Amino acid sequence: MVPFAKREVGLAGKRADARRNEATLLDAAAAAFVASGVDAPVRDIAARAGVGVGTIYRHFPTRADLIVAVYRHQIEACAAAGPDLLAASDSPRTALARWIDLFVDFLVTKHGLAEALRSDDAAFETLHAAFLDRLLPVCAALLDAGGIRSVDAYQLLRAVGNLCIGAGSDARYDARRMVGILVAGLP
């Protein structure tokens, strides 16, 4: 028996101070993301954590890795909610609508996340992948359960993500509403 072994993937087998720094960095990054959005300057995050910028890049080679690490649990929760909603809702269509609502809530409450998600910058590839790996199958299952064949899950997630861009910084624009209209209008 190996106590705590591999409980947190990135933390196993490292020196104690390295593990401490990684945890501190995750906290600092989460705080910085709340305060300044996911575009928070690397130096700010490093300063919050009380480490040098080199330490960030050692633990998280790209910004996307850091973002994924911070939000991994929420991505997971969103993915897990899919089957639950399908079981609990009156119709698959309702389940889809509710699940999309969860996804939208997630995106609009993280400033800049929707923007980062759709960036075609190669550095954000792993962020893109992390979302698609977990959420695409869930979305596909919901579409399938609802008998919706007119769009594939990728396009729908992409469209919803796009609609969420800038949602937090423009009082005249209500992303939730436009997403609702889109989903309701799916043929």
Partner DNA sequence: CGGCAAGCGGAACCGTGTTCCGCTACTCCG
Partner DNA sequence: CGGAGTAGCGGAACACGGTTCCGCTTGCCG
Q: Which residues bind DNA (CB under 7 A)?
A: 4-7, 14-18, 21, 39-43, 50-55, 57-59, 61-63, 123
CB 69 within 8 A of CB 26: yes
- Going by C-alpha positions, the residue among 25, 29, 78 that lies closest to residue 55 is 25
Nearest to 107 by CA among 173, 164, 68, 58: 164
Residues 6+ apart with CB under 8 A from 153: 136, 137, 139, 140, 143
69 binds its own copies per the rule CB under 8 A: no
Number of residues that bind its own copies (CB under 8 A): 25
Which residues does 173 contact at the CB level (< 8 Å), separation at least 6?
A: 166, 167
Q: Choose the contact partner of 76 out of DNA, its own copies, none; CB within 5 to 8 A by kind.
A: none
Toward DNA, which CB reaches closer, 22 or 179?
22
CB of 125 to DNA, least distance (A): 11
Q: Nearest approach, Cβ of 27 to DNA (angstroms)?
A: 14
List the interface residues with its own copies, window 134-163 (CB under 8 A): 150-151, 154-155, 158-159, 162-163
* Residue 172 binds which of its own copies, DNA, none (CB < 5-8 A, kind-dependent): its own copies
- Residue nearer to its own copies on the CB measure, 109 or 150: 150
From 88, 95, 91, select the one nearest 139 (Cα to Cα): 95
By CB under 8 A, tell whether 133 contacts its own copies: no
Rounded Cα–Cα distance for residues 183 and 187 (Å): 9
Radius of gyration of the chain (CA): 18
Which residue lies nearer to its own copies by CB, 55 or 162? 162
The contact set with its own copies (CB under 8 A) reads: 118, 120, 150-151, 154-155, 158-159, 162-163, 165-166, 169-170, 172-174, 177-178, 181-182, 184-187
